[in-house]
Amino acid sequence: MGIVKALMMEMEEAQWEASDVTFFCPECKSEVDGTVELPIVYDNGDSTHLPVNVRCFSGGHSFDGWVKTDWDSCEIELDDYPEKTIITDPMRGFASDYDDYDHEYYEWLEQQELLSRPVYRAFNQTISDVKALTAQVLLDDQSQMLARMLLAQSITALEAFLADTLILTVANHPKAQEKLLGSKSLGIGSKKFELADAIGVEDFAKTRLLEYLRAVSFHDVQKANSLFRVGLGINILPEGKELELIQKAIKMRHDCVHRNGVDRETGELHQIDQGLLLRLATTLENLVRTVDQKVDEIETPM
């Protein structure tokens, strides 16, 4: 490894913290206050020799230099003024000081990684918008029109997430394809084709499998669960009241889309309040987060 690359890696791995410093500024020709970011040193660590930048508050001057620091001392030598040495206190730390910070940082970093995935990000954006608009929902006729739209969109967001997640994952995992095509309970692989159907079709079985998955109605969560369970070994459905709420919302969504919000069993218009929409949004967020994490844990390739 080259010296420059090794130095860059050492700088990236070091933990830094801003420190006030008083020094003789070669440009101002006087003692001034300033600031510099120093590498944190630990009681059980070795000395550190890294490049730094010292800034003068009085004249706004900036000086590149090198800091040599350990637990007991800290000296900075300026590149253009090697005869001027700045003596300051070392930036001391203890091994446990940054545990909580690091934990929070990596949790945040993991969340950013999740949100960077288009399928997951699209769902979260939709549900975030639904929750924001829910504040406008009352029980008057005009508000109920909005409520029906928000409920239907929530279930549509779930359907799109499940479909895109399964199809994209299966498309990139040959073993998942084998499991789905070989499942007797699903019967996907038992469909018969003429040999002529395969002419000019690259990876014929995979192509037909993906066509099948694209035709599935993923708001049929029981069927969706079977596909996830067989192909990826994942159970996507919650239990108890959460599952009951999702199933209730799916039924209401059908009435909202196909019967203008009228309950097909009672003949009455569904009344959808803020509480129902918010509970549904939270339940769907929990389901999607769990599924996304489980899919992310699948080995690549399977």
**Residue pLDDT, tens place only, 50-71:** 999 999 988 888 999 999 999 8
- For residue 123, the enclosing domain spans 118-297
Domain presence at residue 14: yes
Domain presence at residue 101: no
141 shares its domain with 89: no
**For 143-197, how does the pLDDT look when each residue is reduced to its tens digit (9 = 90+)?**
888 999 999 999 999 999 999 999 988 888 889 988 988 888 777 755 665 555 5
Over 70: is that where the pLDDT of 8 sits?
no
Domain presence at residue 86: yes
Interhelix angle for 141-171 vs 274-297, to 10°? 10
In angstroms, rounded to a whole number, what is the distance separating the alpha carbons of residues 89 and 14?
Answer: 17
Domain presence at residue 102: no
> What is the domain count for the chain?
2
89 shares its domain with 143: no
136 shares its domain with 277: yes
0.75 surpassed by pTM: no
